[in-house]
Amino acid sequence: MWLAVITLFPDMFDAMTESGITGRAIKRGQVQFSCVNPRDFTIDNYHRVDDRPFGGGPGMVMLPEPLEKAILHAKAKAADAGYPEVPVVYMSPQGKTLNESGVKQLVQYDGLIVLCGRYEGIDERIIEQYVDQEWSIGDYVLTGGELPAMVMLDSMIRRLPDVMTDNQSAEQDSFVDGLLDCPHYTKPDVFNGIAVPAVLKTGHHLNIEKWRFLQRYQRTQARRPELLEGVQLTRQQKKWLMSEKKSESLRLAGQCPSSAQAQDDS
């Protein structure tokens, strides 16, 4: 994937390019990544990139000329790399809130130019003429678009083929199928008096899968119930839920299903 970020603070992205999964993907060439600084396209001695807003008011607005030149420079680099049609994404509190569905959409592109604003924002004419999409990471205000850009790019890069050591890891994370993630455990078997759930040590893959699904469903129901509206359950998952509800009804009635019945429900 080809990625360029237009930012006044390219050093901030060292955390992403030098560390972890994203850093390894970039170093292996799975991702082509670069930063473009609008200050490099200013023509005055002070490398000015902002000015007071027309109409008055607090703060400063990023000037359109350096941003335009930076965007056109990034587009030319993309074309030279073989990606002539690269969308421009602006990180903005007014954009669509990023979620797993949005990440899947963005990953489908061969490349992106990500525009990071600062101060009170950027000149509206840049948005009108050059921005294809606006994305937000939540309903709050940050000092600039760099951190939201890194959040978005991190989520995208980890979903690219063969970037994760175990490709199934990305598929089993929270939100991938609409549900939150299940609890995870590792050694020791008992920590501070709390034991690892016995089912996870049985080696019975179907029972483990059932336990993990039920944990994920119950956590989502308790913590983010609105997510369940968009969840599409498989036939097996529906069967597990019915089995769990039946067992819960029996427990509330003071009865316990027999082990044979529990096995059949699996």
Active site residues: 93, 120, 158, 173
d(CA 33, CA 163): 15
- Closest by CA position to 95, among listed 140, 37, 157: 140
Check the annotation: does 138 bind a ligand: yes
Check the annotation: does 5 bind a ligand: no
Check the annotation: does 194 bind a ligand: no
H-helix segments, 81-231: 100-107, 124-130, 146-157, 167-171, 205-223
Cα-flanking dihedrals φ and ψ of residue 95, to 5°? Answer: -80, 175
d(CA 34, CA 202): 48
d(CA 33, CA 22): 10
Check the annotation: does 117 bind a ligand: yes
In a 10 Å sphere around its CB, with 0-12 CB exposed, 13-18 middle and 19+ buried, how is residue 186 labelled?
exposed
Beta bridge partners of 88: 113
Check the annotation: does 130 bind a ligand: no
Check the annotation: does 193 bind a ligand: no
Q: Are 2 and 110 in contact (CB under 8 A)?
A: yes
- Closest by CA position to 149, among listed 126, 125, 174, 118: 118
d(CA 51, CA 62): 7
d(CA 89, CA 115): 6
Check the annotation: does 142 bind a ligand: yes
Using left for φ > 0, alpha for ψ between -120 and 50, and beta otherwise, residue 112 falls in: beta
Q: Cis omega before residue 188 (within 30°)?
A: yes
Residues annotated within a binding site for S-adenosyl-L-methionine: 117, 137-142
Residues annotated within a binding site: 117, 137-142
